[in-house]
Amino acid sequence: MYLVKTPEIVQSLWPHFLWRVPTQEPILYLTFDDGPIPQVTPQVLNALREFDAKATFFCVGENVRRHPDIYQRILSEGHTTGNHTYNHLNGWKTKTLDYLKNVRRCAHLVRSRLFRPPYGRLSPCQRAFLERQYTIVLWDVLSGDFDQNVNAQQCLENILNNASSGSIIVLHDNLKTAEKVQFVLPELLRYFTQRGYRFEGLPAVG
Ligand SMILES: [Zn+2]
């Protein structure tokens, strides 16, 4: 069970997470979790480039280690990156010290002040440690691309119906979502570009 749109009340109850960027300007923040992998990430980068759109990639450390060339391409094309742990750990099932070590292992490869916990799951203790060092980024709109019961068209509509200025939108560059994302991404880029929106990466330094 999950919500496509994170309700304002939830966002205000957990102010230590970044849910959206406070702006009135027509800017959207696409985020791609779990890559980089050769089967998906290059196509995502191609689509973004076609619309001159920037995004943020929350990378799994072991994928960065396996595919450093794709990671470099992400950076060289002007996107930003964030830490998504080294092994895609679930915070609720991992001891705090092990979790923090895994984040640090990823940090050797992904130099960023942005962190997104896999599954959005962190214990209060893990959060307390990580927020000293990172901006912990959750989301305003969850596309549902990972959900087998949501087809590509519904996934697209989830985004079109719920995104607005400053929204942080979650998509994935992993094998499970590849097909959907290849349909959804160009469609949403076209839709919002035609309506005057632009796409930016979340600032990863400073
Ligand atoms: Zn993930």
Inter-residue contact 57 to 31 (CB < 8 Å):
yes
* DSSP code at position 181: H
Whole-number Å distance, alpha carbon 196 to ligand 1 midpoint, is 30
Under the banding of pLDDT at 50, 70 and 90, the label for residue 115 is very high
Sequence-ordered list of residues with C-beta below 8 angstroms from that of 162, at least 6 positions apart, any chain? 4, 5, 140, 141
Active-site pick, 16, 33, 34, 108: 33
Question: Residue 138 CB: number of other CB atoms within 10 A?
Answer: 20
Active-site pick, 67, 79, 84, 172: 172
Residue-wise pLDDT for 187-204, tens only, equals 999 999 999 999 999 999
pLDDT of 15: 80
pLDDT of 206: 59
- The Cβ-side half-sphere exposure at 4, using a 13 Å CA radius, reads 15
pLDDT of 136: 97
**What's the rounded mean pLDDT across residues 110-135?**
96
Question: Domains along the chain?
Answer: 8-199 (3.20.20.370)
16 is catalytic: no
Residue-wise pLDDT for 22-67, tens only, equals 999 999 999 999 999 999 999 999 999 999 999 999 999 999 999 9
pLDDT of 31: 98
**What's the rounded mean pLDDT across residues 152-171?**
97
**What's the rounded mean pLDDT across residues 168-182?**
96
Which sign, positive or negative, has the C-alpha torsion 186, 164, 159, 117? positive
User: In the chain, pLDDT over 90 holds for what percent of residues?
Assistant: 91
Residue 1 has pLDDT above 80, yes or no: no
Whole-number Å distance, alpha carbon 82 to ligand 1 midpoint, is 11
Q: Provide the residues around ligand 1 (an ion) whose CB is within 5 A.
A: 33-34, 118
Inter-residue contact 133 to 113 (CB < 8 Å):
yes
Residue 90: left if φ>0, alpha if ψ -120 to 50, beta else—which one?
beta
Inter-residue contact 61 to 198 (CB < 8 Å):
no
Whole-number Å distance, alpha carbon 57 to ligand 1 midpoint, is 11
Whole-number Å distance, alpha carbon 171 to ligand 1 midpoint, is 10
